Amino acid sequence: MTETSTMDTPLKKLVGDKTAKALASHLDLHTAGDLIYHFPRRYDERGEHTDIRSLEVGEQVTVLGQVQRTAVRPMRQRRGNLLEATVGDGSGGTLTLTFFGNQAWRERELRPGRWGLFAGKVTEFRGKRQLNGPEYVLLGDGATDGEAAAQEEIEEFAGALIPVYPAAAAVPTWVIARCVRVVLDTFTAPEDPLPAEVRAGRNLLKLDTALREIHRPSTKEMLGKARRRLKWDEAFAVQLTLVQRKHRAASWPARPRPRAEAGLLAAFDARLPYELTDGQRRVGEEVAADLSTAHPMHRLLQGEVGSGKTVCALRAMLQVVDAGGQAALLAPTEVLAAQHYRGILDLLGPLGRAGELDSADNATRVALVTGSLGAAARRRALEQVVSGDAGIVVGTHALLYEGVDFADLGLVVVDEQHRFGVEQRDALRAKAEQPPHVLVMTATPIPRTVAMTVYGDLEVSTLSQLPRGRSPIASHVVPAAEKPAYLDRAWRRLREEVAAGHQAYVVCPRIGEGPATAEEAGEPGEDGRRAPLAVLEVAPLLAEGPLHGLRIGVLHGKLPADEKDAIMRSFAAGDLDVLVATTVIEVGVDVPNSTVMIVLDADRFGVSQLHQLRGRVGRGSAPGICLLVTEALEGTSARERLDAVASTTDGFRLAELDLEQRREGDVLGATQSGRRSHLRLLSLLRDTDLIRDARAEAIALVEEDPELERHPALATSMAALVDEERAEYLEKG
Ligand code: ADP
Ligand code: MG
């Protein structure tokens, strides 16, 4: 056995081959460092209940409980006996442990009154929760068996706080605890990456102490301090990376594009049919100022669906065109790109028709570049881009990768950032001689800490107010299983809207036919639920049934781009009454005449996604209505989520809820086996203050030592921690 161990020491040198193999194959833990950073999921205290009643059937659990009684009874179907032990946790709930075969020794061991940790998969039998043949260790006083191993466990659990690790069936939590203790006995923590001044100033434990305390807490207070210190490491590493990135980007050169006295922008403002909201005006100033500096703008514009981001973006683009440059607007789909293109042409009117008969004096051109253009149209568009005739170029993200050359790309606007990763942002830099200014727009409100964490290298502008005259959206849950009549009423409601001259969306989670695609929500079959409703199956049923006689169109991501475009166009023109669609309509589709949306299997969508979806209705002056149809029963968490969506239109609140649930999902889901993530302890929802403090320290440090030359330990530890998590989060986002 090794005398000392460090982060990199292989576990097999420390805990023996067999256990090391199990840790590697079941939990992906290979080194001492892996294990030391495999933190307990929770801590149980003897006498404190774990709430057996909340255990979900099918879950792999570890329960701390006290044996209440045991009984041996003959088995019904087979010969032999069954030992049943009833275990309670003080919450009033009980759990039955069953063991097959004659096991008199076990009955002696499981004496009433003894506490133990019991691990297994929860099943249900005649309404009672049980664990079949669970693994267990018994704790504390009165142990009679002299086995050395058992003695060790007793020692291990003698403390008040019992760590419960993310475990696997083959590697229960107490085996992990034993390994951790073995490793800690020889472990030398790496050099503390946190500068001593920061540690002192923020009252943080040393790394070594924190790592020991988090596994074997001496008191609750110390545990709290240990967690806080380790959360700091996570937050600090993320913030340092972002602040550094921002710091570097701020020093790049960019061509300033200051506002012109008279020009396109001024002409555009003069012909705008409405007044800008205060928010739009403020954002306009922020953006204008950024564009005027000799460093590239990196700004995130977030604003509710319908808050009027497009006009803000367009005004920024016009400022750049006035200053002699070009602006590109990137949309996540071709449908949206085409829509933006038409929208911008509309808004610009004669200002966007340079070279045509009715153009204004200082007009520019708008080019659409998408993959579905015919060869001739594409060549023409590209010519306008490369010659600089097109001041504004609209396209999908593909614009970045294809051989599209600009005469002088000054600004890139990215619509719907959550479909747009960091690498893509980076790819932009290659597109211009000097890095262009970048404005990213998102309609998914981002909780502050997430903004700080995921978009921490951007400046943030927020449009918090909707343009006046906008009607609120009324949302209701339609419980199809409990009240089938409500569903009939929903369809009738839709018909009424159509009869009044309006249009409607019906949204389904799935396309149908063939395997599910990334566009589709829900995971069919897996858990025994029926497959989510599909556009291609629902549309004909509606046409025959409740929506008989209405003009119905079908839209989903697998349609060829020109077909998608044709359908969107005819819906926008009012030639279709109803669009049965997947979430392709989620982002940005703008048809103000649509007033009702019916979301089928609404529980298969995320909270933010639903909020986003319903933003498609109520965009005109008529009030919008969104009906969330679900078979989820009252009292289930799925139903609660829908109720939350129905009860508020506060996007920030919903975004937080979404975040909370994602985290919950991570914690409670099938991840007992402990999937590795670099934000292990930090909660973007609850650790707001800590994240803010970490950011402040990061800013101070980067100002004084931008490349961390004087903080090598920090530089190393950071590199390891950050990249993966960011990438992961952006994907999920
Ligand atoms: P989003 O922020 O979701 O992209 P849009 O830019 O598509 O929102 O704007 C939604 C609608 O609101 C559009 O039809 C647009 O013309 C209209 N709009 C934007 N700004 C104003 C305003 N200041 N007053 C009235 N209507 C506005
Ligand atoms: Mg938009």
Give the per-residue pLDDT at 146. 42
Give the per-residue pLDDT at 319. 98
Closest CA to 456 of 330, 309, 300, 301: 300
CA distance linking residue 77 with residue 182, whole number of Å: 45
Checking if the pLDDT of 50 tops 80, the result is no
State the average pLDDT over residues 631-641.
Answer: 86
pLDDT band at 597 (very low <50, low <70, confident <90, very high): very high
Q: Assess contact for 573 and 482: CB atoms under 8 A.
A: no
In the reported structure, the alpha carbon of residue 95 is separated from the centroid of ligand 2 by a whole-number distance in angstroms of: 53
Same domain, 477 and 444: no
pTM value surpassing 0.75: no
Which atom belonging to ligand 1 lies closest to the Cα atom of 276? Answer: 23
Best probe residue, ligand 1, of 311, 394, 468 (max atoms within 8 Å of C-beta): 311
Give the per-residue pLDDT at 561. 79
pLDDT digits 0-9 by tens, 426-457: 666 667 778 899 998 987 777 776 777 666 77
Same domain, 481 and 459: no
State the average pLDDT over residues 217-224.
Answer: 92
Ligand closest to the CA atom of residue 615? 1
Of 116, 138, 164, the domain-final residue: 164
- Inter-CA distances, 559 with 97, 516, 641, Å: 54, 14, 31
pLDDT top residue among 728 and 127: 127
In the reported structure, the alpha carbon of residue 305 is separated from the centroid of ligand 1 by a whole-number distance in angstroms of: 9
Same domain, 344 and 390: yes
- Give the number of other Cβ atoms within 10 Å of residue 617's Cβ: 29
Q: Which alpha helices (DSSP H) does 192-333 contain, by range?
A: 196-202, 207-215, 220-251, 264-271, 278-291, 309-322
Extract the tokens encoding 484.
């089938």
Give the per-residue pLDDT at 144. 43
Residue nearest to atom 23 of ligand 1 (CA): 276
Residue nearest to atom 17 of ligand 1 (CA): 308
Pairing relationship of beta strands 115-125 and 128-132 according to DSSP bridges? antiparallel
Which atom belonging to ligand 1 lies closest to the Cα atom of 620? Answer: 14
- Mean pLDDT, the chain, rounded, equals 83
Q: Assess contact for 454 and 726: CB atoms under 8 A.
A: yes
Same domain, 572 and 438: no
Of 618, 648, 678, the domain-final residue: 648
Same domain, 478 and 449: no
- Inter-CA distances, 634 with 642, 644, 669, Å: 10, 13, 21
The CATH number assigned to the domain holding 62 equals 2.40.50.140
Checking if the pLDDT of 145 tops 70, the result is no
Q: Which residues 6+ apart lie within 8 Å of 348 measured at CB?
A: 268, 314, 363, 364, 366
Domain presence at residue 293: yes
Domain presence at residue 238: no
Same domain, 477 and 389: no
Give the per-residue pLDDT at 588. 55
Ligand 1: lining residues by beta carbon, under 6 Å: 274-277, 280, 303, 305-311, 443, 467, 588, 590, 592, 619
Closest CA to 510 of 616, 585, 604, 614: 604
Best probe residue, ligand 1, of 301, 347, 590, 593 (max atoms within 8 Å of C-beta): 590
CA distance linking residue 424 with residue 332, whole number of Å: 12
pLDDT top residue among 469 and 96: 96
Best probe residue, ligand 1, of 269, 271, 274 (max atoms within 8 Å of C-beta): 274
Same domain, 300 and 433: yes
pLDDT band at 248 (very low <50, low <70, confident <90, very high): confident
State the average pLDDT over residues 308-335.
Answer: 93
Checking if the pLDDT of 676 tops 90, the result is no
pLDDT band at 328 (very low <50, low <70, confident <90, very high): very high
Closest CA to 132 of 91, 84, 174: 84
Residue nearest to atom 15 of ligand 1 (CA): 308
pLDDT digits 0-9 by tens, 264-274: 999 999 999 99
Give the per-residue pLDDT at 677. 44
CA distance linking residue 75 with residue 127, whole number of Å: 19
Same domain, 369 and 487: no
Domain presence at residue 258: no
CA distance linking residue 462 with residue 415, whole number of Å: 14
Least-confidence region, from 55-59, 127-131, 343-347, 664-668: 664-668
Least-confidence region, from 457-471, 492-506, 605-619, 713-727: 713-727
Q: How many domains are there within the chain?
A: 3
Domain presence at residue 292: yes
pLDDT band at 526 (very low <50, low <70, confident <90, very high): very low
Checking if the pLDDT of 710 tops 70, the result is yes
In the reported structure, the alpha carbon of residue 312 is separated from the centroid of ligand 1 by a whole-number distance in angstroms of: 9
- Inter-CA distances, 367 with 245, 372, 378, Å: 33, 14, 10
Domain extent, residue 568, equals 473-648
Same domain, 273 and 417: yes
Residue nearest to atom 1 of ligand 1 (CA): 306
* Angle subtended at Cα 380 by Cα 374 and Cα 383, rounded to the nearest 5 degrees: 135
Domain presence at residue 346: yes
Residue nearest to atom 27 of ligand 1 (CA): 467
Least-confidence region, from 49-63, 342-356, 382-396, 605-619: 49-63
Residue nearest to atom 13 of ligand 1 (CA): 308
Domain presence at residue 257: no
State the average pLDDT over residues 576-586.
Answer: 89
Q: Assess contact for 23 and 15: CB atoms under 8 A.
A: yes
Same domain, 409 and 453: yes
CA distance linking residue 508 with residue 520, whole number of Å: 9
Least-confidence region, from 172-176, 188-192, 513-517, 607-611: 513-517
Domain presence at residue 15: no
Same domain, 521 and 599: yes
The CATH number assigned to the domain holding 536 equals 3.40.50.300
Best probe residue, ligand 1, of 278, 282, 307, 310 (max atoms within 8 Å of C-beta): 310
pLDDT band at 595 (very low <50, low <70, confident <90, very high): very high
Checking if the pLDDT of 162 tops 90, the result is no
Of 133, 164, 195, the domain-final residue: 164
Extract the tokens encoding 724.
């993966």
Domain presence at residue 405: yes
Same domain, 303 and 433: yes
In the reported structure, the alpha carbon of residue 336 is separated from the centroid of ligand 2 by a whole-number distance in angstroms of: 9
pLDDT top residue among 423 and 169: 169
Ligand closest to the CA atom of residue 464? 1
